[in-house]
A and B are shown apart, each in its own frame.
Chain A
Amino acid sequence: MKHSSEPRTHSKWRLVAAGTLPVSLVLGALMLPASASAAGGSVSIVAYSTPKPAYAALIKAFNATKAGAGVTFSQSFGASGSQATAVASGLPADVVNFSLTPDMDKLVKAGIVASSWDKTPTAGMVTNSIVSFIVRKGNPKHIKTWADLVKSNVKIITPNPFSSGSAKWNLMAAYGAQLSLGKTKAQATAYLTQLLSHTAAQPSSASNALQTFLGGEGDVLLDYEDDALYAQRQGEPITIITPPQTILIQNPIAVTSNAANASAAKAFVAYLLSTAGQKVWGQQGYRPVLPKVAAQFKFPTPKKVFTIASLGGWTKVNTTFFTPSTGIVAKIEQGLGVSTASG
């Protein structure tokens, strides 16, 4: 029986395959990074996903200063909660910057950030923002207020409040807005029910929510103002509406207690909180925490801006509203689900 040609090709390729393994192991050894030995040292930043472009500008500006000359950075961006969990599980980080305080509390609990992290002139915050409405360009449905959101022809997009910090800010902005309009807590909760029943989708993250909205879903997206401004700068066909009542989004920052390069990290955070650094933040669409710098920018001024503190602080709010299955929001979703689920 004639020996076919298939094994010939086969063994040739097997040799190729066998050869790549040792080659790749060598390549791998070369690829793995050597420990940082740059002049000013290396600082590792672990942050939530939105400020990545801002940090590109900030690092550039910092490197131009005396304190920041020669400092290199390693950067990791992702969903705020996941990033906090990663650092708690051992991801090396010198500077941590999250989208809401509970994520920082996770690290305090894990002993990675000192409990005195918020005893600073800015209460541990590095940037502010507000919850805004993102609508289609030209605002065809004339959405201006929280009441407009729950009109019958309006579909809302907000991330899922149990998987996204951004969604929590959105819902507390809605709740707090009702309270500031003079409604009772019960009425505010009823409003939340209306709002959630008008959602066309509740994507798992703020990024997914923006993509869903840009993909044609819904009439209005609830999002951070800085995220909206960035989208606008990227040329997306949107209009940003500032609601008359909204919550002040405050983003915490800290240097970890086990930072590998504490001095450079502290210098960097000091820069971020300096007038120069805050100005860069402002240019990137974030409201500076330094009032003097904030005044230089023309951010919209809603009639009423309240903080999470006025609603009880995140620890209390998280437990009361956002505990899966037992929190107020969970109960609302369950109620809505019972009426709409078809088995």
Chain B
Amino acid sequence: MRRSIGKVLRPAARATGPTLIVTYLSLLVLLPIAAILSKSFQNGFGSFWTAVTQPEAVAALKLTLICSLLVAAFNSVAGLVIAWVLVRDDFPGKRVVSAVIDLPFALPTIVAGLTLLSLYGPNSPFGINVADARIGIVFALAFVTLPFSVRSVQPVLAELDRETEDAAASLGASSSVVLRRVILPSVAPAMLAGAGLAFARAIGEFGSVVLISGNLPFKTELASSWIYSLSQSDQLSAAAAVSTVLILIALVVLGAIGIVRRRFNVGEAV
């Protein structure tokens, strides 16, 4: 009885699922992005191009890209090391450490920003002052993207089948070979996914970075801050234009990562 109902419902169910998902995605993402696009070209392509090639925009975009790429790459490696230690190692307080990792996400960006400024700025109790410098930007971006770099690799590491590693080791392979040829290929897709997300978050981040960066035009002003300035100066169309550039860059980077990830997964069920 259940089987025959299933036979009837299944095609309908199969259709509603994707439909609901596409609707949800449209309402939350596609329509707003379309609105941004529409706003950027509101005054024609000429004004879009002007907005995007203004010296402040170019400087801000360049700085944002460099810092975000650096952070994504660095945190990927850091995330792998941390996930490794959490999965494979054991020490007192490990559960506490693991629990704390997600907290940067839960802190409002202003609190994150103020905290980082007080700890690693001019009044730093450790004598570490990275405020008003590009290194401060990288630091703050690393803070907000770390949870993801760790958590994207962690479940995959935890599910990893250890026998291949053990077999390789017992056959005489060194740790670095095991790492390179057994472990890394398995976690690489997850690392890439984490790096993609870290990059995407980094290019859009505003609140936690803007305090420690000093927000100096042409020196430490990020794209997100320039966009904010444009929106506050009644230049919503220009703000949308620069946002569109960021979205396009993210699309390219994420798309590339997605393609590479799929290459890794060919051979398994995709």
Contacts and interface: CB of A to CB of B under 8 A. Distances in A.
Touching chains A and B, CB distance < 8 Å = yes
Interface of A: 79, 81-82, 85, 106, 160, 162-164, 199-204, 208, 211-212, 215-217, 322-325, 330, 333-334, 336-338, 340-341, 343
Given A81-B232, A160-B221, 14 more contacts: A162-B229, A164-B232, A203-B210, A203-B214, A204-B215, A204-B228, A215-B118, A216-B122, A217-B122, A324-B235, A324-B238, A325-B55, A325-B56, A340-B218
Contact of B215 (A81, A201, A324): A201
Q: Which of B122, B123, B228, B233 has the most CB of A within 10 A?
A: B233
Contacts of B234: 106
A202 B232 contact: no
Contacts of B221: 160, 202
Given A160-B225, A163-B229, A215 B123 contact: yes
Contacts of A202: 214-217, 221
B218 A336 contact: yes
A323 B122 contact: no
B72 interface: no
18 contacts: A163-B225, A201-B216, A202-B216, A203-B215, A204-B210, A211-B211, A215-B114, A217-B121, A217-B131, A217-B214, A322-B233, A323-B233, A324-B56, A325-B54, A325-B55, A337-B55, A337-B217, A343-B62
Interface residues of B, number: 32
Contacts of A162: 229-230, 232-233
A203 B117 CA distance: 12
B243 to A, nearest CB: 15
A208 B117 CA distance: 11
Contacts of B210: 203-204, 208
B59 interface: yes
Interface string B218-231: 11010001001111
Contacts of A200: 132, 214
Nearest to B116: A215
Q: Which 5 A-B pairs have the closest CB atoms?
A: A337-B218, A216-B122, A216-B123, A162-B229, A201-B214
A106 B235 CA distance: 13
A81 to B, nearest CB: 4
Contacts of A82: 232
A218 to B, nearest CB: 9
A343 B59 CA distance: 8
Contacts of A204: 210, 215, 225, 228-229
A336 B228 CA distance: 21
Given A203-B211, A211-B114, A334-B55, A341 B122 contact: no
A106 B236 CA distance: 13
B233 A334 contact: no
Contacts of A330: 56
Contacts of B121: 215-217
Contacts of B232: 79, 81-82, 162-164
Nearest to A102: B234
Contacts of B215: 160, 201-204
B55 A217 contact: no
Most chain B CB inside 10 Å of its own CB: which residue of A106, A323, A324: A324
A270 to B, nearest CB: 31
B47 to A, nearest CB: 12
A199 B216 contact: yes
Contacts of A337: 55-56, 59, 217-219
A208 B210 CA distance: 9
Contact of B117 (A163, A212, A338, A343): A212
Contact of B211 (A164, A208, A338): A208
A341 B132 contact: no
A333 B217 contact: yes
A323 B214 CA distance: 21
Contacts of A333: 56, 217-218
A203 B221 CA distance: 10
Given A202-B217, A203-B210, A334-B218, A324 B114 contact: no
A136 to B, nearest CB: 12
Contacts of B238: 324
A343 B63 CA distance: 9
A163 B211 contact: no
A169 to B, nearest CB: 14
Nearest to A341: B218
B206 to A, nearest CB: 8
Contacts of B233: 162-163, 322-324
Nearest to B238: A324
Interface string B3-21: 0000000000000000000
